Structure 1
Amino acid sequence: MNWDRVTERIESFIINFVNSSQSEGVVIGLSGGVDSSTVAYLCVKALGNERVFGLIMPERGVTPEEDVRDAIEIAEKLGIKYKIIEINEILNAFLESADGERKGLALANLKPRIRMILNYYHANSMNRVVAGTGNKSELMIGYFTKYGDGGVDFLPIGDLYKTEVFRLASYIGVPERIVKKKPSAGLWRGQTDEGELGITYQELDEILKAIEKGEKREDEKFVKVLELVERTKHKRETPPVAKVRDLL
Structure 2
Amino acid sequence: MNGLDINTDLARSILTGFIRSETTRSGFQKAVIGVSGGVDSAMSCFLAAEALGPENVLAVRMPYKTSSQDSLDHAQLVIDATGVQSVTIPITDMADGLINQFPDMAKLRMGNIMARCRMIVLYDQSSAFGGLVIGTSNKTEILLGYSTQFGDAASAFNPIGDLYKTQLRQLAHAMGVPQVIIDKAPTADLWIGQTDEGELGFTYAEVDKLLYLMVDERYTPDECVEAGYDRKFVETVVKRIQRYHYKRVMPPIAKLGNRTIGYDFLYLRDWGT
TM-score (norm 2): 0.86
Residue of structure 1 in register with 2:94 after alignment? 90
**Segment drifting more, 69-78 vs 9-18:** 69-78
1:112-127 mapped onto 2 (5 Å cutoff): 112-127=115-130
- The correspondence of residues 103-142 of structure 1 with structure 2, limited to 5 A, is 103-142=106-145
Matched, 1:14 2:27: no
| Distance in 1, Cα, partners of 2:99 & 2:190 | 16
Report the 3-state secondary structure (helix = DSSP H, G, I; strand = E; otherwise coil) of the residue aligned with 2:93. Answer: helix
Give the one of 49, 54, 58 matched to 2:54: 49
Do structure 1's residue 178 and structure 2's residue 181 form an aligned pair? yes
Take 1:77 and 1:3, find their aligned partners in 2: how far apart are those partners? 19
Shift of 1:65: 0.2
Cα distance, 1:76 vs structure 2: 1.9
Q: Which amino acid aligns with 1:243?
A: K
1:234 aligns with 2:246: yes
In the alignment, which residue of structure 1 is the partner of 2:156? 153
Could you tell me how far apart the structure 1 residues matched to 2:104 and 2:201 are?
28
Alpha-carbon separation, structure 2, partners of 1:115 and 1:101: 22
Q: What is the identity percentage for the equivalent residue pairs of Structure 1 and Structure 2?
A: 35
Mapping 1:191-206, distance limit 5 Å:
191-206=194-209
Shift of 1:101: 5.1
Distance in 2 between residues matched to 1:159 and 1:104, nearest whole Å? 29
Amino acid at match of 1:75: I
Give the Cα–Cα distance (whole angstroms) in 2 for the partners of residues 95 and 165 of structure 1.
Answer: 34
C-alpha separation between the residues in 1 aligned to 2:114 and 2:104?
A: 14
Distance 1:193 1:122 in 2: 27
Structure-1 residue corresponding to 2:237: 225
Query: Is the CA contact (8 Å cut-off) linking 2:31 and 2:133 kept in structure 1?
Result: yes
- Give the C-alpha shift of residue 43 in structure 1: 0.6
Task: Please tell me whether residue 190 in structure 1 is matched to residue 193 in structure 2.
Answer: yes
CA–CA distance in structure 1, aligned partners of residues 98 and 26 of structure 2: 32
CA distance in 2: counterparts of 1:103 and 1:198, whole angstroms: 19
Deviation of 1:243 (Å): 2.0
TM-score normalized with structure 1 length = 0.94
Say whether the 8 Å CA contact 1:95–1:101 is kept in structure 2: no
Contact 1:141 1:228 in 2 (8 A): yes
Q: Secondary structure at the match of 2:96?
A: helix
**Residue 79 (str. 1) matches residue 91 (str. 2):** no
Question: 2:255 matched to 1:243?
Answer: yes
SS of the residue corresponding to residue 232 of structure 1 reads: helix
Residue 64 in 1 paired to residue 68 in 2?
Answer: yes
Deviation, structure 1 residue 244 = 2.7
- Give CA deviations for 1:110-147 in whole Å, capped at 9, x if unaligned: 11100001000000122210010110000111110000
How far apart, CA to CA, are the structure 2 residues paired with 1:138 and 1:69? 24
Are the counterparts in 1 of residues 29 and 52 from structure 2 also a CA contact under 8 Å? no
Q: Are the counterparts in 2 of residues 11 and 45 from structure 1 also a CA contact under 8 Å?
A: yes
Amino acid at match of 1:63: S
The one-letter code of the counterpart of 2:135 is G
5+ residue gaps, structure 1? none
Asked whether the equivalents of residues 77 and 178 of structure 2 are also in contact (C-alpha less than 8 Å), the reply is no
Kindly indicate whether the alpha-carbon contact (under 8 Å) linking 1:43 and 1:52 is maintained by their aligned counterparts in 2: yes
